[in-house]
Structure 1
Amino acid sequence: MSDSTSDFLAADAHAQRRYAPLTRVIFRLLLAGLSGFLLCVPWLSASLYWVGWFAWVPLLFALRDTRPWAALLLGWVAGTLCSAGGSYWLAEFMVNLKQVRPLLSTLLALLFWCYLGLVIGLGCLLYRWWVRRLGGWDLLAFPVAMVSVMALYPMLFKTHFADGQVDFLPALQAIDLTGAPGLDAVMMLFSVLIYRLLTPRRSPAAAYSRLAQGTAWALLALWLGYGYINLYEWDRRMQQWDTRRVGLVQPNDAITLGIPEPATGFTRESPPEMLATERLVAAGAQWVAWPEARYKGYFDDYSVRDSYARAITRHGVPLIFHDVERRWVDAQRISFNTVALLDEQGELAAQYRKMLRMPFGEYLPEPWSWPLLKGLTDLVFGEFLRPLGAGSEHIAFDLNGMRVVPKVCYEAAFPGFVAEAIHTDGAGKMLLFLSQDNWFGETSQPFHHGNMSILRGVENRVPMAHLINNGPSLVTAPNGRRLASSEAFNRAELLADVPFSEQAGGSFYSRHPQLFLNLIYGLAGMLILLAGWRGRSRVRRRGRRCSRKTRPTGN
């Protein structure tokens, strides 16, 4: 072999050694990015729910043999791409709600996506720290790390990967025991099992525990077996129930920052929703609901209250609607997002004030409300539309034995909060979510919002209606089956026959909404203690080996 050829081969080998680490880093980042994309796919299209069960596999390959801080970076990349893909509508939302310039809105959305992405990064860091210290345990470590960090990480919206599974009804049924975090954990466990099947065994020390793997597969079989049995058992039970015909008005009102003028040809006293209500009553509706939408003036104007009372008295059917309520509280004028119930005589029978307000939309959370920072937030977000007061209690509207539990807007995103409203007396209850999602434009957000509400109904085993101003509105049975739905971004009037029993409703999760998460926290604490003990034991063994090597030997 000539000298030139030898020099060339030596240079090539040197280049490979030099650039191999960079190539591996790029490959790991690509795998993390692929997982980030796959994780958000079911949020964008519920029919692709199956993607979510495999979505973690590329990230698990990217994390293989990495140190915890490298895992943090890889998980952050995956999480940021997942957040950006699943909530791409956030930039348009800030433009519509706060009149923020598009470029600034995009930059703020990017910061928010990076913040949300960190939750997966922190979960990956904890997972790799456990696996490196414990020499395995990934079947338990990965779901526990991710679910615990997701539950504890401060977020505006508690989003779950289970939200994309509404078309996979058997998988939903066991969330009446665990809530949505349980399905998140099961999906993650499945990804780890697939990762194990695709990972070759490299040494006897890395051989997989047959007992642990068999237990994991058995747990998956139990979850889905419970789901298939309960899905059809609920179908059978509901065939014996009575039905209530519910009317939902979807007006598709345009968004506005100020108090809008009445629709053309209508007045505040006689809005188009009232005309739609009369048509629904004529079709047999036993009660009617309107969504969170335009200002109605019911609490401000006597003429509106009187006109509503006379209209409802004529047809004798209760009406549920949303409006802004202004009250004096401690010498201050406070506004509330209020849901009102008018009985068959048109009298105000009950009202629910929204309890969970939207940060930066309906109030300024601390520390942003402190005087030192308020000027900055006003500069970035603009003046508030209307700072709102928070309600103090859950309310159930009694409609001839059916107890309707109203919730407003993104209250549907919090499983534990909704479970508190159903609690231990769920019999005869039905969830009703009223929302105004036109702020997000014609995007996937209203669909994702509705998916959250479907999970809340299954978790608590009650019928559920999610009425969105711009649609799609939907009604589901206690097992998640859709009973009726409307098209998105259109006006619609929806009738649904809802199976109902005064003796049925509520679930194990309704009564114990924190039990599963407390179990996860307990397992996380156990793994932390065990990993810490293993780490100290390893240091002591290394110290003993070093002392033996340096000990002087006699002749």
Structure 2
Amino acid sequence: MTGASAFPRWILPVMSAIAAGVMLALPYNYAGLYPLTWLAFVPLLVAAHGRSAAAHYWLGLLTGLAMYLVATPWMVEFLQRLKDYSLAPALAGAMVFWFLTAQLPAFLMLCWHLCQRFCGHYCLWFFPVLLMVFYGWFPVLFPLQLGESQSAFLPAIQAASLTGVYGVDLMIGISNALVTAGALQAMGWLPGARHTSGVMGGAGVLVLAAWLGYGWWALDHWDRQVSQWPTLSAGLVQSNETPSAAVPAPEPGYSRSWPPEMALSSQLARAGAEVIIWPETRYKGYFEVDQVPGAFQRAVAGLGVPLIFHDAEQQGNGGEFREYNSSLFLGPDGALAGRYRKHRLVAFGETLPLSREFPWLVNWASDYLGDFFANLTPGNDRVTFPVGGVHLVPAICYESAFPGHVARSVGAAPGSPLLVVLSNNGWFGDSRQPWQHASATVLRAVENRVSLVHVMNNGPSTVVSPSGRVLASTPFQERIGLVTDVPYTPAGQVFRSWFTQWPEWFAVVLGLAGLMALLLIRLTRRQA
């Protein structure tokens, strides 16, 4: 038996698919590795070339499993904290999550195989559109769009103010298609397609050059603009509480009426904060413990600085009972001046799909997910919290992963908007997840050309400029307060980006254009 025959033919494609997944995952964990994303699909596309539909699916599945195993190993610890599971059941639940999420690249590759059957060697130029559509719209529990791994590549994300993160995904797809086309041609696997590949490849290079050229210009433009803006002195409170499935008791030395966050807030107020922002935490008791509202009012009035914080909100009784995940705004006199009820609830943690149609599912979820699960009611109103001439636009935790939702909230602000995200990433332990979340929110600042304050329970809390630059950050897993100046749009120069005004236009138009082009090519080939 020769060495060549001893080497199974399936080894190389399998290794290529796994390599693609690892290359996709690493930039989510370490933002400085962003160049890998622009080449990551090449091993997969080359390995799948000329193979069956089943092979495309299984190779895509392997890529997805590798990607999410490397990018989201924190899922095991998340489930352990969720209900105090031992390692075995938490690992089993994580494996279900990884398998279901890996369907995204699996079905992406299956659809790309169908494109190949429809349009032959033109198919590579449909891959970027498919990539954009799948990573933008495929239903997953914790979305990870490709462009959100590019927060350190500032020129590449500037045009997101026109297209949203969808445009960044498209450019990543074009880059991968160009390199794949070159590789396949070099191997002689695209016979008769040299002219087409040359024309399309030249167009792809021009699009990428225009995208990045605009990015360099826009980065400089917005940096200069922001340097002239007024600033709001924001106090960020990072409480670094350890989350638990059950409602935690107050820490020794503190109480519901005087939590650790209030002690830190006193320091921030003395340091000159004009508004104080607490992160999302497990429980504050503002709506359930009688003495808490009064105690908070007195404390905040003593500080003379408005406060934004998070709590579970209960309304009504019996069949009218509703529970919301809310951000609350206390004015400088300590009185409740506004509330925002979370719109986009986390499936299986805050709401259960189809629970209203099948109420028995709620009891099942409560048994399985424990006290963490709450069948919350989504909010409807888009509100802002005014501080001086600034309108703070609140979002809670993973709402920041939905570009359209954030854009509509910013667009509804009546004056100078400033995004504020409150999140509790302590559920994910000592993992890379907090950095992944922080990187994703960078895109929200650029898309809407507004500054962003992201306050995490366990850090790193960040302040991001409209150009995507991180202006300030806090250490990870440390209880700390930070006062920092946050630039905001002057009242007479309020700007609404193209994406803020029309959030889904790019993805919808490009998706429909790709479908029409596919049908046109198919019709032309049949007539020929």
Q: Which moved more, 1:153-162 or 1:43-52?
A: 153-162
Please report how far the alpha carbon of residue 314 of structure 1 lies from its aligned counterpart in structure 2 after TM superposition: 2.2
| Structure with greater Cα Rg | 1
Decide which of 490, 513, 523 is 2:503's aligned counterpart. 513
1:442 is matched with: 430
1:24 is matched with: 9
2:207 is matched with: 219
Decide which of 506, 523, 532 is 2:513's aligned counterpart. 523
Which secondary structure does the structure 2 equivalent of 1:431 belong to?
A: strand
From the superposition, tell whether residues 489 and 214 of structure 1 become closer, same or farther in structure 2 (CA, over 3 Å): same
From the superposition, tell whether residues 426 and 232 of structure 1 become closer, same or farther in structure 2 (CA, over 3 Å): farther
- Is 1:473 aligned to residue 478 of structure 2? no
1:44/1:86 contact within 8 Å kept: yes
Q: 1:504 corresponds to which letter in structure 2?
A: V
From the superposition, tell whether residues 119 and 294 of structure 1 become closer, same or farther in structure 2 (CA, over 3 Å): closer
Decide which of 202, 207, 210 is 2:194's aligned counterpart. 207
2:246/2:371 contact within 8 Å kept: no
2:165 is matched with: 180
From the superposition, tell whether residues 332 and 323 of structure 1 become closer, same or farther in structure 2 (CA, over 3 Å): same
- Is 1:59 aligned to residue 49 of structure 2? no
Please report how far the alpha carbon of residue 382 of structure 1 lies from its aligned counterpart in structure 2 after TM superposition: 4.3
Q: TM-score, normalised by structure 1?
A: 0.89
- Is 1:416 aligned to residue 401 of structure 2? no
Please report how far the alpha carbon of residue 433 of structure 1 lies from its aligned counterpart in structure 2 after TM superposition: 0.6
- Is 1:262 aligned to residue 250 of structure 2? yes
Within 2, Cα distance between the matches of 1:81 and 1:205?
35
Within 2, Cα distance between the matches of 1:389 and 1:341?
20
Which secondary structure does the structure 2 equivalent of 1:487 belong to?
A: coil
Which secondary structure does the structure 2 equivalent of 1:349 belong to?
A: strand
Q: 1:179 corresponds to which letter in structure 2?
A: G
Please report how far the alpha carbon of residue 322 of structure 1 lies from its aligned counterpart in structure 2 after TM superposition: 0.7
2:384/2:413 contact within 8 Å kept: no
1:195 is matched with: 180
Q: 2:506 corresponds to which letter in structure 1?
A: F
1:130/1:531 contact within 8 Å kept: no
Decide which of 268, 272, 278 is 1:280's aligned counterpart. 268
Within 2, Cα distance between the matches of 1:375 and 1:265?
37
Q: 2:86 corresponds to which letter in structure 1?
A: R
- Is 1:366 aligned to residue 351 of structure 2? no
From the superposition, tell whether residues 279 and 379 of structure 1 become closer, same or farther in structure 2 (CA, over 3 Å): closer
Within 2, Cα distance between the matches of 1:329 and 1:189?
55
Please report how far the alpha carbon of residue 208 of structure 1 lies from its aligned counterpart in structure 2 after TM superposition: 4.4
Within 2, Cα distance between the matches of 1:379 and 1:336?
20
2:105 is matched with: 120
Please report how far the alpha carbon of residue 258 of structure 1 lies from its aligned counterpart in structure 2 after TM superposition: 2.4
Aligned residues, how many?
523
2:392/2:418 contact within 8 Å kept: yes
Within 2, Cα distance between the matches of 1:530 and 1:73?
29
From the superposition, tell whether residues 151 and 535 of structure 1 become closer, same or farther in structure 2 (CA, over 3 Å): farther
Please report how far the alpha carbon of residue 380 of structure 1 lies from its aligned counterpart in structure 2 after TM superposition: 4.3
2:245/2:372 contact within 8 Å kept: no
Aligned ranges for residues 233-244 of structure 1 at < 5 Å?
233-244=221-232
Please report how far the alpha carbon of residue 536 of structure 1 lies from its aligned counterpart in structure 2 after TM superposition: 4.9
From the superposition, tell whether residues 371 and 498 of structure 1 become closer, same or farther in structure 2 (CA, over 3 Å): closer
Q: 2:427 corresponds to which letter in structure 1?
A: W
Aligned ranges for residues 118-517 of structure 1 at < 5 Å?
118-201=103-186, 202=188, 205-209=192-196, 210-328=198-316, 331-366=319-354, 370=358, 377=365, 380-382=368-370, 385-423=373-411, 427-500=415-488, 501-502=490-491, 503-517=493-507
Within 2, Cα distance between the matches of 1:63 and 1:368?
42
2:447/2:499 contact within 8 Å kept: yes
Please list every run of 5 or more consecutive structure 2 residues that lacks an aligned counterpart in the other structure.
none
Q: Which moved more, 1:135-144 or 1:222-231?
A: 135-144
Please report how far the alpha carbon of residue 155 of structure 1 lies from its aligned counterpart in structure 2 after TM superposition: 1.7
Please report how far the alpha carbon of residue 137 of structure 1 lies from its aligned counterpart in structure 2 after TM superposition: 1.8
Please report how far the alpha carbon of residue 133 of structure 1 lies from its aligned counterpart in structure 2 after TM superposition: 2.9
Q: CA RMSD in A?
A: 2.3
Q: Which moved more, 1:118-127 or 1:522-531?
A: 522-531
Please report how far the alpha carbon of residue 294 of structure 1 lies from its aligned counterpart in structure 2 after TM superposition: 3.8
Within 2, Cα distance between the matches of 1:128 and 1:148?
16
2:246/2:372 contact within 8 Å kept: no
2:348/2:373 contact within 8 Å kept: no
From the superposition, tell whether residues 127 and 233 of structure 1 become closer, same or farther in structure 2 (CA, over 3 Å): same
Q: Which moved more, 1:323-332 or 1:500-509?
A: 323-332
Please report how far the alpha carbon of residue 315 of structure 1 lies from its aligned counterpart in structure 2 after TM superposition: 2.5
Cα displacement string for residues 257-297 of structure 1 (whole angstroms, at most 9, x for unaligned residues):
22222221122212221121111111111110001114222
Within 1, Cα distance between the matches of 2:285 and 2:363?
32
Please report how far the alpha carbon of residue 363 of structure 1 lies from its aligned counterpart in structure 2 after TM superposition: 1.8
Cα displacement string for residues 142-178 of structure 1 (whole angstroms, at most 9, x for unaligned residues):
1112222333422223320111111111111011111
Please report how far the alpha carbon of residue 373 of structure 1 lies from its aligned counterpart in structure 2 after TM superposition: 5.4
Q: TM-score, normalised by structure 2?
A: 0.93
From the superposition, tell whether residues 289 and 371 of structure 1 become closer, same or farther in structure 2 (CA, over 3 Å): closer
Identity of aligned residues (%): 35
1:350/1:397 contact within 8 Å kept: yes
1:138/1:192 contact within 8 Å kept: no
1:33 is matched with: 18
Q: Which moved more, 1:472-481 or 1:303-312?
A: 303-312
Within 2, Cα distance between the matches of 1:359 and 1:186?
30
Q: Which moved more, 1:192-201 or 1:101-110?
A: 192-201
